[in-house]
């Protein structure tokens, strides 16, 4: 459906809905996992909130109602049992009852894969997205839904994603756009500052493969309090001389629970080594109440002078004067054997617009056609 013009416009921020949310309706045989058992697989980062809903059955369904121009469903497709030439990872995506094409590339046994994507939707009405699984040969995991609300939305108590290019993020001049699409700096003392309303922040960044092999440190200060340090780990070592992979969606730090309200945070790159990068911030228990003319004015006073705090924070970190230390846990990287084979799903009823996905990297390469091995 095409989007409509008028006073309604897309928000500049996005909402994340965890698989455990009561807003998502499930039917069929679903398994709930809340222990983060998949968090260490692959290089796309941990699961959101350490929870997953999975189904090995061909009759698992879910639905979610939202208002906005776009949405996507993220999760994992895991192989069950030995590799087979007959594997057919099949699911169907719907928007308002209409079947749509699934993404053309999926990586098996990797977190945060985009399983369904919906865009160019009518801004003036609510939409229902749905997924129906049609195979019992692999475990289909749902991690979270991400959608863009309208600028007129009044959403509270949500996980709100602030992208690295958000107008309200105030960077100093040392930050640059990296090849991974994140903001990054290697200058000790570099800062970024923003205000938010909610009960806490999680910082997601990228660790590039070409990064320094030495861990570094950063520090964050909330509402002018003494800084808390965090470790920015390096990429994991490999067993040979090949370059390690880049690591995406890495949690650099997560603040403790704060009293609900408006807060200010300043983050500083405190010691050299792995660069400090920002892909996005996720604000806990936050809201979307902005309008389209709510952008920051570069000539307006900054909420906090981030640069004036940089030397103080770096000095406190190097001198040990911190409120605490939050080190990033080093997750061992799993190197998975690359199976290079083409697999084609069996002929299906013409009314089913089912997945014709290409699976690569740590599992099997899938496309339509007859099952065959790629030599």
DSSP for 35-100 reads: S-TTTTSSSS-PPGGG-EEEE-STT-EEEEEEESSEEEEEEEEEE-SS--TT----EEEEETTEEE
Report how far residue 229's alpha carbon sits from residue 253's, in angstroms, rounded to the nearest whole number: 9
The H or E element that residue 23 is part of is: none
Closest CA to 10 of 199, 130, 163, 142: 163
DSSP for 123-180, written as a single string: TTSEEEEEEEE--SSEEEEEEEEEEE-BTT--EEEEEEEEETT-TT-EE-TT-EE-TT
- Asked whether 169 and 237 are in contact (CB, 8 A), the reply is no
- Average confidence (pLDDT) per 10 residues, the chain, 375 residues: 57 94 95 85 90 86 96 85 52 95 74 94 96 79 96 91 96 93 96 98 93 88 98 74 81 98 98 96 88 40 46 51 36 30 30 36 33 30
Q: Which residue has the tokens 């209409």?
A: 98
Q: Which long-range contacts (CB under 8 A, 24 or more apart) does 333-340 make?
A: 333/43, 333/236, 333/244, 333/245, 333/247, 334/40, 334/41, 334/42, 335/238, 335/239, 336/42, 336/109, 336/361, 336/362, 336/363, 337/362, 338/362, 339/83, 339/363, 339/364, 339/365, 340/365, 340/373, 340/374
List of residues 6+ apart from 97 with CB closer than 8 A:
128, 130
DSSP string, 229-263: EEEEPPPPP-SSSSPPPPEEEEEEEEPPP--SEEE
Helix H segments across 179-305? none
Cα→Cα distances 213→114, 205, 243, 268, Å? 30, 17, 11, 20
Q: Look at residue 316 and give its three-state secondary structure.
A: helix
CA dihedral for 99, 102, 108, 109, sign (positive or negative): negative
Spatial separation of the C-alpha atoms in residues 326 and 320, rounded to whole Å: 13
- Are 342 and 317 in contact by the 8 Å Cβ rule? The answer is no
Overall pTM surpassing 0.85 (yes/no): no
| Domains, the chain | 14-153+338-373 (2.60.120.260), 159-326 (2.60.120.260)
Please state the φ and ψ torsions of residue 368, each to the nearest 5 degrees: -70, 150
Q: Alpha-carbon distance 96 to 272, whole Å? A: 50
Which backbone phi and psi does 291 adopt, to 5 degrees?
-115, 170
Q: Report the pLDDT value the prediction gives residue 30, as an integer from 0 to 100.
A: 92
């Amino acid at each position: 459906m095409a989007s409509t013009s008028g006073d309604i416009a897309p928000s500049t921020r996005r909402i994340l809905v965890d698989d455990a949310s009561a807003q998502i309706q499930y039917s069929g045989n679903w398994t709930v996992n809340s222990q983060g058992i998949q968090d260490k697989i692959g290089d796309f980062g941990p699961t959101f909130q350490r929870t997953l809903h999975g189904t090995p059955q061909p009759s698992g369904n879910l639905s979610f109602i939202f208002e906005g121009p776009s949405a996507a469903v993220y999760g994992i497709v895991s192989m069950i049992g030995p590799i087979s030439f007959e594997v057919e990872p099949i699911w169907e995506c719907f928007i308002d009852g209409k079947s749509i094409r699934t993404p053309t590339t999926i990586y098996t046994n990797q977190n945060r894969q985009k399983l369904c994507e919906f865009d160019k939707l009518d801004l003036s009405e609510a939409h229902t997205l749905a997924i129906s699984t049609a195979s019992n040969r692999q475990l289909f995991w749902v991690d979270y839904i991400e959608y863009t609300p309208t600028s007129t939305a009044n959403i509270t108590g949500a996980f709100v994603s602030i992208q690295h290019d958000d107008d309200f993020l105030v960077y100093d001049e040392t930050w640059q756009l990296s090849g991974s699409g994140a903001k990054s700096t290697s200058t000790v003392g570099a800062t970024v500052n923003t205000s938010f309303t909610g009960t806490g922040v999680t910082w997601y960044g990228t660790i590039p493969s070409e990064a320094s092999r030495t861990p570094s440190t950063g520090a964050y200060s909330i509402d002018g309090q003494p800084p808390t340090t965090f470790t920015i780990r390096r990429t994991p070592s490999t067993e040979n001389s090949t370059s390690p992979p880049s690591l995406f969606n890495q949690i650099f730090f997560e603040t403790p629970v704060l009293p609900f309200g408006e807060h200010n945070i300043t983050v500083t790159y405190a010691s050299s080594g792995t660069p400090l990068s920002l892909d996005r911030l996720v604000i806990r228990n936050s809201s979307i109440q902005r309008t389209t003319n709510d952008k920051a004015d570069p000539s307006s006073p900054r909420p906090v002078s981030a640069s004036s705090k940089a030397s103080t924070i770096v000095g406190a970190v190097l001198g040990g004067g911190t409120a605490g230390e939050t080190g990033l846990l080093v997750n061992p990287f799993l190197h998975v054997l690359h199976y290079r084979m083409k697999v084609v799903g069996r002929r299906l009823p013409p009314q089913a617009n089912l997945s014709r996905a290409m699976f690569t990297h740590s599992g099997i390469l899938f496309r339509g056609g007859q099952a065959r091995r790629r030599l």
